[in-house]
A and B are shown apart, each in its own frame.
Chain A
Amino acid sequence: MSFNTWLPVLLLCSSLVPGLIIFMLPERATALRTTLNLGGAVLKIVLLVLMMIGVFHGVDYEFRVPLVPGLDFVLHADALSLMFVNLSAVLWLATTFYAIGYLENSPNRSRFFGYFSLCVTATVGLAMAGNLLTFLVFYEALTLTTYPLVVHRGTEVARKAGRTYLAYTLLGGVLLLTGTVWLYSLTGTLEFIDRGFVAQAGVDPAVLRMVFLLLILGVGVKAALLPLHAWLPQAMVAPAPVSALLHAVAVVKAGAFGVVRIIYDVFGIEFAASIGVTLPLAILAAATIIYASLRALFQDDLKRRLAFSTVSQVSYITLGVAIAGPIATIGGLVHLVHQGFMKITLFFCAGNYAETLGVHKVSEMAGIGRRMPWTTAAFTVAALGMIGLPPTVGFVSKWYLGLGALEVGQHWVVFVLAGSSLLNAAYFLPILRTAWFDAPPAEWPEERDYGGKETAWLLLLPPLATAAATLVWGLLASMPGTPLDWVQFIAARKYAP
């Protein structure tokens, strides 16, 4: 066992170990807790960069121990997994900064940060899972570690939201488990490989369609696909950093990532298209996009509006994957990263409004741009990105999705994209207008004093940084080192040459 074998494990431990230590810390050990958190986050990024360089040069990182008869627990770092690890590691760092500021002086911080780290560990494990069994292990682990965060506030509302969350996610886990065992009993293997392992097994396509349905519904719960999305808006009772985590870093993304893995590395995109399962999925994703955007229009609660926006935006990823063309793949995968950065910016800003001024509703946001210009600027950049205006990253995603759809002759997708952009504009632009151009009220609902500054710098820096990233990557989209560049590297491996 060489260093390369243990590197994936180290990557897991860089958040697992700090998380476990943090549980043991007394509430007042703020300095030590912060050090551990940030230390782990930075270490994770360093390890990640090491591995990305390695993978780019063709090194194979794999850790394997037997788990159940015939099946191993595999951590494997390929380009796709590292992209997802990258997203969670970077956003974890940002969210940790933010959460330290957000939760200052609130109770149960050790518990919060402990579960927070475990949650990221589960996400990283899920990203690096080398077979469907390992994926399942971390998928369930993610459900379990996020539950305490959803019910963190300990109110009756939180308990009910937690119950809904579990009802949906555990059901999803069970569907995934059923599909996994079924698939294993059919094929005798569960290893992820480029272009899938199902095609070679020679199983009846009708059975495979059922398996596909089970697996996709299983991950679709977390990806908030249409009939399974109701948990997400309810989970909004959690503190803002948790919402950010749920929406941008971990849970929803884990679902979308699962869709990607199942289509590319289990079934293989070309085989999936040949048994006719991708088109229904694409239609479902399109329906989710339009439906959730319509629902978002009528939400006055800012966080609920953002939640429905997430439901809609995450389905872009599914849509891009299900269109089944190389260019659309690039659009879908790159949106995994782009949506993460944009949505986390929006949630950070929503948290800032709530924390600084007590503003929770869109109708209370009149003139908030004058009181909190920097936060509102970040919000504006991310919202424009969501609409898909150039030069933000949102435009890059939609451009590739549209081109990809045209490439394989799915013209209807372009109308879905245009319609969704219009709807996005319809629910974001009024916020921006009232925030910048309306007169502020005489008194904010619950204003806190930050010594004449807009808000605490720990609350302000993370959204500014993520918003800047979306802007820069949009401007320099084709430069080496951007998400788009890495995604093109991935997409080249998923299609038969």
Chain B
Amino acid sequence: MSEWLAGAPWMMLAIMLPLSGALVAFLLPRHSALVGLGASLLTACAALVVMLQVAADGRQAYRLGGWPAPLGIELVADGLSVLMLAMTAVVGVAVSVYARVYLADSPDKVRRFWPLWLFLWAALNALFQAGDAFNLYVTLELMGLSAVALVALSGSGPALWGAMRYLLVSLLGSLSYLVGVALLYHAYGTLDLALLSERADGGLQLAVPLGAMIAGLLLKTGLFPFHVWLPPAHGSARAPVSALLSGLVVKASFYLLLRLWFTFTPEGQGVPLLLGSLGAAAIFWGSIQALRQKRLKLLVAYSTVAQLGYLFIAFPLAELEPALAWSGSVYLALSHAMAKGAMFLAAGSIMTQGGHDEIDELDRVVERMPLTLAAFALAGISLAGLPPSGGFVGKWMLLQAAMTQGSWFWALVIIVGGLLTATYVFRVLGFAFTKSPHEHERHDVPATMEWTALVLALGAVLLGFAAPWALPLLEGVLP
């Protein structure tokens, strides 16, 4: 039995399980929630098994149907992939559990949510395990399309606008990526990442396709100044969808960016410096916008803009301190996924409870839903990089990388960004403790919703203690 388990094609299962789950959920709309939840749990298990395999035996590869590349599709999982798989599994399960209760009273949304979300999950898992630039394109598109459809789920005007803009940006980004793929194939005659990393030799024939691909991915990641689509889409979607978009979807295009960067290890300092500066601008612009928002969900969405900026600070720092900078960035991505997921789920519970999400009118919400507020606070602690949390470990590594090479500017950006984050998080908490002069409607919130957000936020905090186990996985993956 155990031999059979170890021999099963877990890497493929991590993609096929959500895919078939999506189909079944679509065909059996009456049972879609149950099917969806079951598929979620199975997918998470498959992803965790892949992680254990990689942790035990190193890099894994699987050929679909036994066909070798370039005709067949080869799946590859290394340390970076499995960390992303695990992140998706954790956030995915939490969102699934939450969504089952959250959507329970609108059956038509239940029917549409589950197939789309499982498609999204399949696309994410496929993207993290793709070893080929074109398969990455296909998974990127699948992910983008299901994400857009999820945004449109709520059907309100702002959500449809958000979805439409998101779709246009997403398609533009993927096309730019595709052009890069075409030029890459022209230059090197292969799209397999491993082969490409051997053949790529620098110069213009690498710079142009890589530039096109990176530009497309920046658009999809929502790095400043390409972020304008992000807050409307993330802020107007339903809470579980926002959690998925902010937590996972933007991370997928960032992962792809990292993957390309590690494959080609481009030389020169101009591009890293540009990416880092855009990241710094994103941190300041996003945080300041977050501080100015009146609505909780928009605040959280702008916070995503800011936190994504942090991930790009690693590029200029990586020249002298690659290991520290990249691990810091990846770790921040992981903890942001969990923290931001928890934050959106908490915001969703607050909206369900009070029927609104005006920050000034939170009206002692801490007394009515202490668990949700605790989740919001813990997630905020991790976002602000206060210890002990995953965000702290990530920022510590980035700071250390900056200080060791005497880059005071980047150190200052990291520190001031953390302060700004704390400011907007505690602005919310302050109003949550304070009585408002106005009366508001009160609804009951199911305990499951409160607890899932809290557990996810606790995960983001406890991630601060997991670094000694998670970081060794990245050895050999980072350049």
Q: What is A's interface to B at a CB cutoff of 8 Å?
A: 23, 65-69, 73, 107-108, 111, 136-137, 140-141, 144, 147-148, 151-152, 154-156, 158-159, 162-163, 166, 170-171, 173-174, 177-178, 181-182, 184-185
Bound: A69/B431 CA distance, A: 38
Contact (Cβ within 8 A) A141 B400 = no
- When the two chains form the complex, which single residue of B377, B387, B418 contacts A136, counting CB atoms closer than 8 Å? B387
Whether the Cβ atoms of B399 and A177 lie closer than 8 Å is yes
What residues on B are CB-neighbors of A111 within 8 Å?
Answer: 366-367, 370
28 A-B pairs, CB-CB below 8 angstroms?
A: A67-B465, A67-B467, A68-B396, A68-B467, A69-B471, A108-B367, A137-B387, A137-B392, A140-B386, A140-B387, A144-B377, A148-B433, A151-B430, A151-B434, A152-B433, A154-B435, A158-B434, A159-B431, A162-B426, A162-B430, A166-B422, A170-B419, A174-B419, A178-B415, A181-B403, A182-B403, A184-B400, A185-B400
Chain A residues with Cβ under 8 A from B366's Cβ?
A: 111, 148
Q: How far is the CB of B439 from chain A (nearest CB, A)?
A: 16
Question: Which B residues from 386 to 423 make CB contacts under 8 A with A?
Answer: 386-388, 392-393, 396-397, 399-400, 403-404, 411, 415, 418-419, 422
Q: Which residue of B lies closest to A139 (CB)?
A: B387
- Residues on A with beta carbons closer than 8 Å to the beta carbon of B388: 67, 73, 137, 141
Measured between beta carbons, the chain B residues less than 8 angstroms from A65 are 465, 468
- Given that A68-B396, A173-B386, A177-B415 are known contacts, is A159 also in contact with B324, CB under 8 Å in the complex? no
A67 with B431: CB separation less than 8 A: no
Contact B430 A68 (CB under 8 A): no
Greatest chain B CB density within 10 A among A137, A144, A166, A171 is at A144
Q: Does B59 touch A at the CB level, under 8 Å?
A: no
Instruction: Say yes or no: A68 contacts B435, CB within 8 Å.
Output: no
Task: Write the chain B residue with the least CB distance to A72.
Answer: B468
User: Taking the complex as formed, is B112 at the interface, i.e. its CB lies under 8 A from any CB of chain A?
Assistant: no
- Give min CB distance, B391 to chain A, whole Å: 12
CA distance A354 to B191 in the complex (A): 77
Q: Say yes or no: B422 contacts A170, CB within 8 Å.
A: yes
Bound-complex Cα distance A170 to B367 (A): 25
CB-defined contacts of A173 to chain B, threshold 8 Å: 386
Q: Residues of B within 8 Å of A, CB-based: how many?
A: 36
For A170, the closest partner residue in chain B by CB is: B422
Given A69-B467, A162-B433, A184-B403, 7 new contacts (CB under 8 A): A69-B397, A151-B433, A158-B434, A177-B399, A182-B403, A185-B403, A185-B404
Q: When chains A and B are docked, how far (Å) is the Cα of A184 from the Cα of B400? A: 8
CB distance from B64 to the nearest CB of A (A): 37
Quick one: closest B residue to A167, CB to CB?
A: B423
Picked from B399, B419, B430, B468, the residue with its CB within 8 Å of the CB of A163 is B430
Complex Cα spacing A111 to B364, Å: 13
Q: Which residues on the B side are within 8 Å of A151 (C-beta)?
A: 430, 433-434
Q: Chain B interface secondary structure, helix, strand, loop or mixed?
A: helix
Q: A68 touching B393 by the CB < 8 A rule?
A: yes
The verdict on A178 contacting B324 (CB below 8 Å), with A23-B370, A140-B386, A166-B422 known, is: no
State whether the Cβ of B464 lies closer than 8 Å to any Cβ in chain A. yes
Q: If A69-B327, A166-B422 touch, does A154 touch B364 (CB 8 Å cutoff)?
A: yes
Cβ–Cβ contact A67 & B393, under 8 A? yes
Expressed in whole angstroms, the Cα–Cα distance for A181 and B433 within the complex equals: 34
Contact B434 A159 (CB under 8 A): yes
- Whether, in the assembled complex, B381 has its beta carbon less than 8 Å from a beta carbon of chain A, the answer is yes
Select which of A159, A171, A184 is within 8 A of B433 by beta carbon.
A159
Please report the C-alpha to C-alpha distance between residue A66 and residue B411 in the assembled complex, in whole angstroms.
24
**B393–A154 contact, CB under 8 A?**
no
Chain B, 229-261, contact with A by CB distance < 8 Å: what is the 0/1 string? 000000000000000000000000000000000
**Chain B: which residue is nearest A137 at the CB level?**
B387
Q: How far is the CB of B291 from chain A (nearest CB, A)?
A: 13
Whether the pair B419, A171 counts as a contact (CB closer than 8 A) is: yes
B468–A156 touching, CB < 8 Å:
no
Q: In the complex, what residue of chain A is closest to B399 when comparing beta carbons?
A: A181
Tell me the nearest residue of chain A to B403, going by C-beta. A185
Q: How far is the CA of A432 from the CA of B430 in the complex (A)?
A: 38
Report A-chain residues with C-beta under 8 Å of the C-beta of B419. 170-171, 174
A173 to B324, CA, bound (A): 22
The 3 closest A-B pairs by CB, nearest first: A66-B468, A137-B387, A185-B403
**Within 8 Å CB of A108, what residues of B?**
367
Within 8 A of A (CB), among B413-459: 415, 418-419, 422, 426, 429-431, 433-435
Chain A residues near B426 (CB-CB < 8 A) = 147, 162-163, 166
In angstroms, Cα B397 to Cα A124, docked, is 27
A173 to B419, CA, bound (A): 10
**Chain B 467-479 against A: per-residue CB contact (8 Å), 1 yes, 0 no?**
1100100000000
Q: Is the CB of A69 within 8 A of B324?
A: yes
Which B residues touch A184, using CB under 8 A? 400, 403
Interfacial chain A residues near B422, Cβ < 8 Å = 166, 170
Most chain B CB within 10 A, of A68, A141, A155, is at A68
Closest residue of chain B to A183 (Cβ to Cβ) is B403
B361 to chain A, nearest CB (A): 13
CA distance A193 to B324 in the complex (A): 27
User: Which residues of chain A have C-beta atoms less than 8 A from B364's C-beta?
Assistant: 154
Report the Cα distance A182→B411, complex, angstroms: 10
How many Å lie between the Cα of A141 and that of B378 in the bound state?
11
Cα of A23 to Cα of B377 in the assembled complex, Å: 15
Q: A67-B464, A69-B471 are in contact. Are A156 and B396 (CB under 8 A)?
A: no
Residues on A with C-beta less than 8 A from B404 are: 185
A107 to B364, CA, bound (A): 12
- C-alpha gap A217/B366 in the complex (Å): 33
Give the chain A neighbours of B403 by CB distance below 8 A: 181-182, 184-185
Tell me the smallest distance from the CB of B379 to a CB of chain A, in Å: 13
B423 to chain A, nearest CB (A): 8
Q: Report A206 CB to chain B, min CB distance, Å.
A: 14
- What's the minimum C-beta distance from B233 to chain A, rounded to whole angstroms? 31
B residues within 8 A CB of A159?
430-431, 433-434
